[in-house]
């Protein structure tokens, strides 16, 4: 779409503050989107890569996300160079001239010779209307190769004042091709949504960055990094790549069948609620525990678990479920929690605010099973995990 046809909308959007985080946006009314009068400043036909682009994604019955990009172009003796690519992501409500702006974000991508591109995609949708928007900005030239930046935003649901608000989750920049010559790098980004094991009706987004880096034709190395955007029960967040090791006080013996289930502690971290850890001690399981250790000191906002063997409703009823548990940290006070007798995921807000490297979940009491006394847990997950800042020792 050529810029003259976008002047009313462009003028409206550019009048908004550049940084959406400065304050909550007022409800602005859009101007009439009619063609500009002849007196409007014309855009030269030979302005090179001066086209603004407009892309939209539907967010609901009356809402849409609009991505407006406008490159700033300079001409140097007939060679057009884009100094930068400005982009505005705006959430609109309503229809026609009466539409209002609910929220907006400002993005800027470095310029250079060659062409620019931009796209918008709704990657995830939650059962209550939560959405994740993926915005891609890129630049391509024969000599410099191709560079792209992908930013993921959450859009809050609801028809009230809180609905339609944008918040950034994750930003990644990668190089699909670094151009000709060596050293050379080639990266690809793939996004894949998978059902959340803990939150029915929601999905998690797995973003895989695969890279191949070559010094020569023969001297190449390949890497792969996976980042996860997960639903925590209240919002989407980036899952940091933290290795979590799990151990247990005891485990129920494996099934005698080669194809039968196992009940090891690792089952609570396999993202499959049809598997479970079941303690193997005599009695009701009181005093048995699961221990989780991180690869570095972290703070954690929430622990989510499915307290039972959730393979099926019948299996869940037949086995004992956790009722009261105690969270032990490396030092400091413990935290006692009473759980509901439900197969639904249950969320525990971690009271401890200081960093720790490990936490032990001890069983205090259980809801008895109809057939078996063994207490089981299907899944345990942590959200809001953040590495503790490194303190520099005074010299």
Q: How do residues 115-164 score in pLDDT, each as one tens digit? A: 788 889 988 888 888 889 999 988 887 667 888 899 999 988 877 667 88
| 255 and 235 assigned to the same domain | no
Q: Give the model confidence (pLDDT) of 88-102 as tens digits.
A: 898 888 877 777 888
Gap between the Cα atoms of 395 and 376, Å rounded: 50
C-alpha distances (whole Å) from 108 to each of 18, 22, 165 are 10, 17, 20
Among 203, 223, 239, residue at a domain's last position: 239
| 11 and 150 assigned to the same domain | yes
129 lies in some domain: yes
Please report how many Cα atoms fall inside a 13 Å half-sphere around the Cα of residue 175, on the Cβ side.
14
Q: Where are the alpha helices (DSSP H) in the chain?
A: 7-14, 313-318
Q: Tell me if 244 sits within 8 A of 293, measured CB to CB.
A: yes
Task: Please state the domain count of the chain.
Answer: 2
Gap between the Cα atoms of 64 and 100, Å rounded: 11
Among 181, 211, 239, residue at a domain's last position: 239
| 138 and 281 assigned to the same domain | no
Q: Tell me if 306 sits within 8 A of 295, measured CB to CB.
A: no
Q: What is the 3-state secondary structure (H, E, C) of 28-90?
A: CECCCCCCCCCCCCCCCCCCCCCCCEEEEEECCCCEEEEEEEEEEEEEECCEEEEEEEEEEEE
| 251 and 232 assigned to the same domain | no
Beta-bridge mates of residue 306 = 379
CATH number of the domain at 248, please: 2.60.120.260
Gap between the Cα atoms of 319 and 309, Å rounded: 7
70 lies in some domain: yes
Report the chain's C-alpha Rg in angstroms: 27
154 lies in some domain: yes
394 lies in some domain: no
Q: What is the mean pLDDT of the chain?
A: 79
Gap between the Cα atoms of 67 and 80, Å rounded: 24
Gap between the Cα atoms of 114 and 152, Å rounded: 25
3-state helix, strand, coil in the chain (%, to 5): 5, 50, 45
Pairing of strands 53-58, 63-76: antiparallel
Q: Give the model confidence (pLDDT) of 56-73 as tens digits.
A: 888 877 888 888 887 766
| 270 and 228 assigned to the same domain | no
DSSP 8-state secondary structure symbol assigned to residue 250: -
393 lies in some domain: no
Among 193, 221, 239, residue at a domain's last position: 239
pLDDT < 70 positions in the chain: 1-52, 72-83, 111-114, 142-143, 160-161, 180, 240-242, 254-260, 390-395
| 212 and 256 assigned to the same domain | no
395 lies in some domain: no
| 80 and 152 assigned to the same domain | yes
Give the model's pLDDT for residue 39.
38
Q: Give the model confidence (pLDDT) of 154-196 as tens digits.
A: 988 877 667 888 999 989 888 888 776 777 788 888 888 888 8
Nearest-5° angle of CA 76, CA 38, CA 95? 100
Distance of CA 153 to the CA centre of its chain: 8
| 193 and 317 assigned to the same domain | no
| 157 and 249 assigned to the same domain | no
Q: Which residues lie below 8 Å from residue 153, measured CB to CB, with a gap of 6+?
A: 89, 105, 132, 133, 135, 166, 167, 168, 169
121 lies in some domain: yes
| 265 and 330 assigned to the same domain | yes
Pairing of strands 375-377, 320-329: parallel
Give the model's pLDDT for residue 240.
62
| 209 and 276 assigned to the same domain | no
Q: Which residues lie below 8 Å from residue 205, measured CB to CB, with a gap of 6+?
A: 123, 124, 132, 152, 191, 192, 193, 228, 229, 230
Q: Tell me if 53 sits within 8 A of 69, measured CB to CB.
A: yes
Share of the chain above pLDDT 90, in %: 30
Domain range enclosing 146 = 3-239
E strand intervals along 161-316: 166-177, 184-195, 203-214, 220-231, 236-239, 244-248, 277-278, 289-299, 302-306
| 167 and 233 assigned to the same domain | yes
């Amino acid at each position: 779409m050529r810029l003259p046809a976008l002047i009313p909308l462009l003028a409206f959007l550019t009048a908004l503050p550049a940084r959406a985080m400065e304050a909550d946006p007022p409800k602005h009314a859009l101007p009439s989107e009619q063609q500009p009068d002849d007196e409007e400043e014309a855009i030269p036909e030979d302005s090179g890569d001066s086209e603004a682009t407009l892309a939209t994604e539907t967010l609901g019955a009356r809402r849409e996300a609009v991505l407006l990009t406008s490159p700033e172009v300079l001409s140097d003796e007939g060679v057009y160079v884009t100094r930068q690519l400005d982009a505005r992501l705006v959430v609109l409500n309503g229809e026609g001239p009466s539409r209002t702006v609910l929220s907006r974000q400002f993005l800027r991508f470095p310029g250079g010779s060659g062409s620019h591109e931009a796209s918008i995609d709704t990657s995830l949708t939650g059962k209550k209307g939560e959405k994740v928007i993926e915005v891609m900005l890129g630049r391509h030239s024969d000599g410099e190769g191709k560079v792209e930046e992908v930013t993921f935003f959450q859009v809050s649901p609801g028809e009230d004042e809180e609905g339609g608000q944008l918040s950034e989750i994750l930003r990644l920049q990668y190089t699909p091709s670094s151009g000709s010559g060596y050293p050379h790098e080639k990266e690809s980004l793939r996004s894949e949504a998978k059902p959340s094991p803990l939150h029915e009706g929601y999905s998690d987004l797995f973003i895989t960055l695969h890279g191949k880096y070559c010094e020569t034709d023969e001297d190449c190395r390949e890497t792969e990094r996976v980042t996860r955007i997960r639903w925590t029960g209240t919002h989407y967040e980036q899952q940091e790549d933290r290795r979590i090791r799990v151990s247990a006080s005891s485990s129920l013996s494996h099934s005698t069948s080669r194809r039968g289930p196992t009940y090891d502690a690792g089952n609570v971290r396999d993202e499959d609620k049809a598997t479970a850890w079941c303690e193997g001690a005599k009695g009701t399981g009181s005093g048995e525990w699961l221990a989780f250790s991180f690869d570095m000191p972290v703070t954690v906002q929430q622990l989510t678990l499915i307290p039972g063997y959730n393979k099926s409703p019948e299996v869940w009823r037949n086995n004992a479920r956790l009722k009261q548990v105690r969270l032990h940290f490396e030092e400091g006070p413990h935290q006692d929690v009473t759980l509901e007798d439900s197969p639904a995921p249950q969320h525990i807000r971690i009271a401890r605010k200081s960093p720790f490297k490990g936490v032990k979940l001890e069983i205090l009491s259980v809801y008895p099973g109809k057939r078996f006394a063994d207490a089981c847990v299907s899944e345990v997950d942590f959200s809001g995990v953040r590495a503790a800042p490194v303190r520099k020792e005074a010299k």
